[in-house]
Chains A and B, each alone.
Chain A
Amino acid sequence: MIDPPPPTFEDVRDLLSQNCVACHQQEGPAPFSLTKSTDYQRRSAFIQALIQEDRMPPHLVASERWSDQEKDVVLRWLAAASRDEDSQTVPAPKVPSFRKDRSFRIPEGFVIPKEGGERWHRGDRDVRTFRLAPRADQLLRVQAWRFHSSAPREVESIGLVHDDGTIARYGDLQEPNTPGYEMTGDMGWRPAGMLGVLGVANSTFRIPDGFHFEVPQDHEIDFELRFRPSGIDKPLAATLEAELVPDQQKSRALHLIPLSIRSWRVKAGESGTLEQRWVSPIDIDVPLVSVRAGRRIRGVSLSVDGKRVFDIPDWDPHWQQTWEIPDLRMTKGMQVVATFNVDNSEENPRNPETPPRDIQFGRRTGALGIWLHAAAIDPVDQGTLQQIHRSIFEAQQSEPVETPRQIEQSPKASP
């Protein structure tokens, strides 16, 4: 049997463009540029290893990753490509269209530190929260966000919420002499609103047509930055821009339904599942979900009446962002289950502590959640969504600390 000829650059150009260059370009979020064919040839062994381990490309839902066949084509091209070939340009993917209608800036003066510091809790990531200026001067219907920063390689994700200012101001006052504050997590629990999470690969984020995020008049937007220290101090200047739904255009506001586990604990070596259940009292569309889950979570899924509609079995905390779920509709009475596979054993390669320790997380340190961004199908029910958020919030106040079910003792952790 004769081996097929190795793929040519023409065979892989579009795959590289779509999957690599969006991040690996000058001033992009990834560490080195991959805009020339020779850039790949120079790092061929490293790139092949990362692709084979499915480490690259990252930040994509499993279903959107390249197919096994496409992966094979790229790997064969990398293995065969000669370092002496002439350099050819890999085109940058098309930049999504965006119209800047509003612009908000973070306070100046924060420097992303060169390395992570000691923290008051055992949370997962370096994080800082900022209040953005100015406040919304009128109700804003946001169709898309775009984020710019002076430190694209240090910014891992930004979570956006809106608040009337009381909770965020309290946090800010705890650190009066520095821009932003460390304490986090409170605003999203109140009946205010979450406005999505932008990750590394989606710094321009468009809400599906027909829906929008709503920022009430006089509310401020608060900005939770998760960052990765890169070995060198990086002063941060950043701007968040909003594209608004045109005044005359019909659109439905997305409200938050937090399927959250507010407080949970797991012993060293244990694994199991945590679930949050909810029955929809009205008919809703759920075009987006946001996920918060840290390093002791191995898998995240959402099911509706037993059918999985969102499933990432090999969860990576890099993927804490807002995901689009096309055509997800829940009718009254449907049972919704958010499931988190917890693994606090040494077998979890992302467990931040070796050997593992007993841990307990709360809302400020490591709550779990799949947040549904929902719109009522019947406009009459739209106001009900805020009440749903409020009633879930109030019910969670009295929930006990959760522990994983179906606990299996890790062999290595056995006494």
Chain B
Amino acid sequence: MASKRLVLVWLCLTASCQSLKPAHQMQARDGFDSKIRCAVFLSPDCPIANAMAPSLGRLGQYAQQHDIETLLIYPRKGLTTRQVSNHAQSYGLVGHVVLDPDHRWVNSLDATVTPEAFVFSGGIENPNVLYQGRINDLYRGVGNRQEQARNHDFRNAIERSIAGNRESVSGPPAVGCTIER
């Protein structure tokens, strides 16, 4: 119950109540310094992204506990604030919800599918990507789901960053729903 309340408060502060804005506006607000941030590209109707939501919720909390912000970026055109807020809330995601209909974040980080995970520093114009790849190996291919994830690449990348390791690592490619250009 406590964790549900935490998620609701966090979403209220970050998304629907405060600052759900297009990506370029958010960048202006934050300034995006050298601080480490996480980003995950999502789509409300991608079953692969949704299946990983419980893991993402835990990772978002873990990152938050270490003062790392997670951007939940929704690149699909036509999505509304209400839709993505509802999605993030109902799936227990923790992070800062971002609409990216113009694909500014998609192009900046070179994202290709949902869900795809990043650890980076810097802003949208000049990101320094420390990790790009899958969240875990729950899916080995589209339609090829394992019963459980056994390799947690995104979590490992966050842990490396927390430990102060700024080496850039390319993870195994993300498996998911193509981001339409």
Q: Is A36 an interface residue, CB under 8 A from the partner?
A: no
Q: Is B31 an interface residue, CB under 8 A from the partner?
A: no
Distance between B115 CB and nearest chain A CB, rounded to angstroms = 10
Distance between B14 CB and nearest chain A CB, rounded to angstroms = 20
Q: Which of A13-56 contact B (CB under 8 A)?
A: 31-32, 42-46, 49-50, 53, 55
Most buried by A among B46, B51, B181: B51
Contact between B51 and A43, CB atoms less than 8 A apart: no
Q: Is B150 an interface residue, CB under 8 A from the partner?
A: yes
Q: Which residues on A sit within 8 Å (CB–CB) of B141?
A: 55, 349
Give how many A-B residue pairs fall within 8 Å (CB-CB).
70
Contact between B147 and A126, CB atoms less than 8 A apart: yes
Contact between B177 and A230, CB atoms less than 8 A apart: no
Tell me the complex Cα distance, A232–B47, Å: 11
Q: Is A65 an interface residue, CB under 8 A from the partner?
A: no
Looking at chain B, what size class is its interface with the partner chain?
20 to 34
Most buried by A among B53, B55, B145: B145
Q: Which residues on B sit within 8 Å (CB–CB) of A53?
A: 142
Contact between B91 and A231, CB atoms less than 8 A apart: yes
Contact between A116 and B148, CB atoms less than 8 A apart: yes
Interface of A is mostly: loop
Q: Which residues on A sit within 8 Å (CB–CB) of B90?
A: 232
Q: Is B30 an interface residue, CB under 8 A from the partner?
A: no
- Which residue of A has the minimal Cβ distance to B46? A31
Q: Which residues on B sit within 8 Å (CB–CB) of A50?
A: 142-143
State which of B45, B47, B55, B150 has its C-beta within 8 Å of the C-beta of A353. Answer: B150
- Which residue of B has the minimal Cβ distance to A156? B145
State which of A118, A124, A232, A350 has its C-beta within 8 Å of the C-beta of B50. Answer: A232
Q: Is B26 an interface residue, CB under 8 A from the partner?
A: no
Contact between B144 and A349, CB atoms less than 8 A apart: yes
Contact between B51 and A230, CB atoms less than 8 A apart: yes
Contact between B146 and A352, CB atoms less than 8 A apart: yes
Contact between B147 and A124, CB atoms less than 8 A apart: yes
Contact between B181 and A55, CB atoms less than 8 A apart: no
Q: Is B180 an interface residue, CB under 8 A from the partner?
A: yes
Tell me the complex Cα distance, A3–B57, Å: 50
State which of B53, B137, B144 has its C-beta within 8 Å of the C-beta of A232. Answer: B53
- Which residue of A has the minimal Cβ distance to B145? A228
Distance between A405 CB and nearest chain B CB, rounded to angstroms = 27
Distance between B59 CB and nearest chain A CB, rounded to angstroms = 13
Q: Is A115 an interface residue, CB under 8 A from the partner?
A: yes
Distance between A298 CB and nearest chain B CB, rounded to angstroms = 13
Contact between A114 and B53, CB atoms less than 8 A apart: yes
Q: Is A58 an interface residue, CB under 8 A from the partner?
A: yes
Q: Is B82 an interface residue, CB under 8 A from the partner?
A: no
Contact between A42 and B180, CB atoms less than 8 A apart: yes
Contact between A229 and B144, CB atoms less than 8 A apart: no
Q: Which residues on B sit within 8 Å (CB–CB) of A115?
A: 51, 54-55
Tell me the complex Cα distance, A229–B54, Å: 10
Q: Which residues on B sit within 8 Å (CB–CB) of A46?
A: 177-178, 180
Tell me the complex Cα distance, A125–B147, Å: 6
Q: Which residues on A sit within 8 Å (CB–CB) of B146?
A: 352
Q: Which residues on B sit within 8 Å (CB–CB) of A42?
A: 77-78, 180
State which of A44, A55, A228 has its C-beta within 8 Å of the C-beta of B142. Answer: A55
Q: Is A88 an interface residue, CB under 8 A from the partner?
A: no
Tell me the complex Cα distance, A49–B143, Å: 12
- Which residue of B has the minimal Cβ distance to A126? B147
- Which residue of A has the minimal Cβ distance to B77? A42
Q: Which residues on B sit within 8 Å (CB–CB) of A231?
A: 50-54, 91
Contact between A31 and B178, CB atoms less than 8 A apart: no
Q: Is A354 an interface residue, CB under 8 A from the partner?
A: yes
Q: Which residues on B sit within 8 Å (CB–CB) of A119?
A: 147
Digitize B124-157: 1 where CB-to-A-CB distance is under 8 Å, 0 elsewhere: 0000000000000100111111111011000000
Q: Is A190 an interface residue, CB under 8 A from the partner?
A: no
Distance between B100 CB and nearest chain A CB, rounded to angstroms = 16
- Which residue of B has the minimal Cβ distance to A55? B143
- Additional pairs, 12, CB under 8 Å, beyond known A125-B147, A231-B50, A350-B140: A31-B45, A32-B45, A43-B177, A45-B181, A46-B178, A55-B141, A116-B148, A119-B147, A229-B51, A232-B50, A349-B144, A354-B140
Q: Which 8 A-B pairs have the closest CB atoms?
A: A46-B178, A231-B53, A231-B50, A31-B47, A32-B45, A115-B54, A45-B178, A352-B146
Q: B: which residues have CB within 8 A of A?
A: 45-47, 50-55, 77-78, 90-91, 137, 140-148, 150-151, 177-178, 180-181
